[in-house]
Amino acid sequence: EVQLVESGGGLVQPGGSLRLSCAASGFSFSSWVMTWVRQVPGKGLEWISSISGGGDTTYYADSVKGRFTVSRDNSKNTLYLQMNSLRAEDTAMYYCGKGSSYSISWQSHWGQGTLVSVSS
Amino acid sequence: DIQMTQSPSSLSASVGNRVTITCRASQGISTWLAWYQQKPEKAPKSLIYAASSLQSGVPSRFSGSGSGTDFTLTISSLQPEDFATYYCQQYNSYPVTFGGGTKVEI
């Protein structure tokens, strides 16, 4: 059974940093594109970043480019999102999603999410 | 960027009704389209990928169709557990983009 478990969310001040993790199990982690999607409470879904199975190719939304960095440790079956220079508008629930073997994909499975609040 | 426009933004329906949600892409995306269901305080759940392929475990009352720019999600007979918000997503090119959502209410 595919399982994705996010962690690392919390309250952080504007300009601060946070690192999210997504622990994966139940599938061959290194074979699949992984994605981060966020959702402001009460609003829609926003794709923010994807990373190839090998970790050598990354993609970012303009809203986070230069501030967020996606990475993965295939030996630990874990996906990461390093978030720097956080802003109030980054406040959201952050979900990780499992893609496919293609470079761009839908998300077949999702974690339960981790909440990030940026406030002074 | 490819814009995804869903309609309606909300609808009211009854158990047993047939429900259709539409999604329009600002440019052609072939069949690189997915549909998701999200219930309050829960993570999204994949329903349909490649415009018409049913995700494993999803009931057959859900179906998807379309190609190019116009797509539909149909629920053939609405069940109580189907009241939720539905999102379309294009994955033809980065940045991946979602529609604004359709809330299905009683």
3-state secondary structure of B39: coil
Tens-digit pLDDT profile for residues B18-77: 999 999 999 999 999 999 999 999 999 999 999 999 999 999 999 999 999 999 999 999
Burial label for A62, CB within 10 Å (0-12, 13-18, 19+), is exposed
Chain B hits for A108, CB-CB cut-off 8 Å, are 46, 49, 55
* Predicted confidence band of residue A49 (pLDDT cuts 50, 70, 90): very high
Helix (H) or strand (E) segment spanning residue B63: strand B62-67
Of A45, A62, A106, the CB nearest to B49: A106
- Do B43 and A95 lie within an 8 Å CB cutoff? yes
Where do the H-state alpha helices sit in chain A? Answer: none
Task: Output the DSSP codes for A74-108.
Answer: TTTTEEEEEE-S--GGG-EEEEEEE--SSSS---S
The pairing of strands A114-118 and B33-38 is unpaired
Running DSSP on this structure, what letter comes out for residue B96?
P
Among A91, A112, A99, smallest CA distance to A7 is for: A112
Q: Is omega for the bond preceding B8 within 30 degrees of 0, making it cis?
A: yes
Question: Which chain A residues touch B49 with a CB distance below 8 Å?
Answer: 106, 108
Q: What pLDDT is attached to residue B72?
A: 98
Residue A65 CB contacts under 8 Å (≥ 6 apart), including other chains = none
Q: Would you say residue A104 has pLDDT above 90?
A: no
pLDDT of residue A100: 84
- Per the CB < 8 Å rule, is A106 touching B43? no
* Dist. CA B25–CA A9, nearest whole Å: 33
Q: What is the total residue count of chain A?
A: 120
pLDDT above 90 for B6: yes
Rg of chain A in Å (alpha carbons): 13
Average pLDDT of span A33-45:
97
